Amino acid sequence: MRRWWHDDPEERDYPEGTIRDWLPRLRGEDATEMYVICLDGRPIGVIQSYRVDDEPEYIAEIGELEEPAIGVDLLIGEAELIGKGHGPALLRAFLREAFGRYGLEYCVIGPSRANAAAIRAYEKAGFRYLRDYREEDTIDPPHVLLDIRRRDLE
């Protein structure tokens, strides 16, 4: 994960700063829902979801969407498990439940364009390219906004 935060000037204290920033989510004090991903009882990553319309700064970066959407982020923190097909399977299973929980039909995800492995995994899960966007506080290449609909999981 450190590799994807290299472009954020505020992320000098990784991982402690990230953990500190995530604590309100983990305590349920923030609308973002965060889950630890476990494989055979071992934590291997994090997945989070949120209503995009609850995040006005994110909307300002990605642009308006055609309908209300869920936003998701997936981080697999174990290098030996990346590229093994876990990401697409995790996303599809998670979204089947999340679409019902949020009562929405549409979801977006926004990896860095430089993160080709993540983009491939998201496309394998059924996400499609929507557009490029730039996160305000990053210096790396643009991000890619991908989307998926509930019906795409069937």
Write the single-letter amino acid at 2. Answer: R
Buried b (16+ CB within 10 A) or exposed e, 92-103: eebbeebbeebe
Residue 112: give its domain's CATH number. Answer: 3.40.630.30
Lowest-confidence pick of 1-10, 57-66, 119-128: 1-10
* C-alpha–C-alpha distance, residues 2 and 34, integer Å: 19
**Which pLDDT score, from 0 to 100, does residue 20 have?**
74
**What pLDDT does 99 receive?**
97
Average pLDDT, the chain: 86
Is the pLDDT at 131 greater than 70, yes or no? Answer: yes
Distance, CA of 69 to CA of 107 (rounded, Å): 5
- What does the pLDDT look like over 53-111, one tens digit per residue? 999 999 999 999 999 999 999 988 888 888 888 899 999 999 999 999 999 999 999 99
Domain that holds residue 144: 2-153
What pLDDT band is residue 5 in, cutting at 50, 70 and 90? very low
Number of domains the chain is built from: 1
pTM of the model: 0.83
Q: What angle do CA 52, 35, 149 make, to 5 degrees?
A: 40
The pLDDT score that the predictor gives to residue 2 is 42
Q: What tokens does 125 get? A: 């899960």
| In contact, 46 and 77? CB cutoff 8 Å | yes
Tell the residue number behind the tokens 């795409």, with chain if given: 152
